[in-house]
Structure 1
Amino acid sequence: MQIAEVNGTRLHYRIDGPADGAPVVFSNSLGTDLRLWDAVLPHLPAGLRILRYDKRGHGLSEAPKGPYSMGMLVSDVEALMDHAGMTDAVFVGLSIGGMIAQGLATKRHDLVRAAVLSNTGAKIGTREMWADRIAAVEAGGIAALADQVLERWFSARFRATPEFHAWRNMLLRQPREGYLGCCHAIAGADFFTPTAALRLPVLGIAGSEDGSTPPDLVRETAELVPGSQVRLMRGVGHLPCVEAPEDYASILTGFLKAQGHG
Structure 2
Amino acid sequence: MPIETIRGEPFNIRFDGPADAPVLMLSNSLGTNLSMWDPQIAEWAKSFRILRYDSRGHGLSTATDQAFSIATLGHDALAILDHFGIDRAHWCGVSKGGMVGQWLATHARHRMDRLVLANTAAYMGPADLWNGRIKTVRSQGMAAIVQGTLERWFSPRFRESDATTVAKVSEMLTTTPAIGYATCCAAIRDMDQREAIHSIANPVLVIIGTVDPATPPAAGHLIAEAIPGSRTVELDAAHLSNLEQPEAFTGAVLDFLKV
The TM tier, using the shorter chain, reads over 0.9
Q: How does 1:80-159 map to 2 (within 5 A)?
A: 80-159=80-159
Confirm or deny: 8 A CA contact 1:9 1:56 kept in the other structure: no
| Distance in 2, Cα, partners of 1:195 & 1:6 | 27
Give the C-alpha shift of residue 43 in structure 1.
Answer: 2.5
1:104-148 deviation line (CA, Å, top 9, x unaligned)? 122212210121110001112321211111111122112222211
Matched, 1:220 2:229: no
**TM-score, scaled relative to structure 1:** 0.94
| Distance in 2, Cα, partners of 1:45 & 1:227 | 27
Give the C-alpha shift of residue 80 in structure 1.
Answer: 0.3
User: Which residue matches 1:68?
Assistant: 68
Q: Could you say if the C-alpha distance between residues 197 and 62 of structure 1 is closer, same or farther in structure 2, counting changes exceeding 3 Å? A: same
Name structure 1 gaps, 5 residues minimum: none
Of Structure 1 and Structure 2, which has the larger fraction of its residues in helix?
2
Aligned partner letter, 1:3: I
Confirm or deny: 8 A CA contact 1:33 1:58 kept in the other structure: yes
Name structure 2 gaps, 5 residues minimum: none
Aligned partner letter, 2:193: F
Give the C-alpha shift of residue 83 in structure 1.
Answer: 0.9
Confirm or deny: 8 A CA contact 2:138 2:179 kept in the other structure: no
SS at match of 2:49: strand
1:193-240 deviation line (CA, Å, top 9, x unaligned)? 221111111100011121100111111112211011111001x11111
**TM-score, scaled relative to structure 2:** 0.95
Confirm or deny: 8 A CA contact 2:25 2:51 kept in the other structure: yes
User: Which residue matches 1:25?
Assistant: 25
SS at match of 1:91: strand
Aligned partner letter, 2:39: A
1:147-174 deviation line (CA, Å, top 9, x unaligned)? 1111110011221232111211211111
Confirm or deny: 8 A CA contact 1:152 1:238 kept in the other structure: yes
User: Which residue matches 2:253?
Assistant: 252
| Distance in 1, Cα, partners of 2:228 & 2:118 | 17
Aligned partner letter, 2:250: A
| Distance in 1, Cα, partners of 2:257 & 2:109 | 18
User: Which residue matches 2:177?
Assistant: 175
Confirm or deny: 8 A CA contact 1:69 1:188 kept in the other structure: yes
RMSD: 1.3
SS at match of 1:210: coil
Confirm or deny: 8 A CA contact 1:44 1:250 kept in the other structure: no
User: Which residue matches 1:48?
Assistant: 48
SS at match of 1:192: coil
Confirm or deny: 8 A CA contact 1:45 1:253 kept in the other structure: no
Give the C-alpha shift of residue 45 in structure 1.
Answer: 6.2
SS at match of 2:23: strand
SS at match of 2:76: helix
Give the C-alpha shift of residue 89 in structure 1.
Answer: 1.5
1:48-103 deviation line (CA, Å, top 9, x unaligned)? 11100001111111211232221111111110011122233111011110010011
Query: Which is further off, 51-60 or 35-44?
Result: 35-44
How many pairs are equivalent? 257
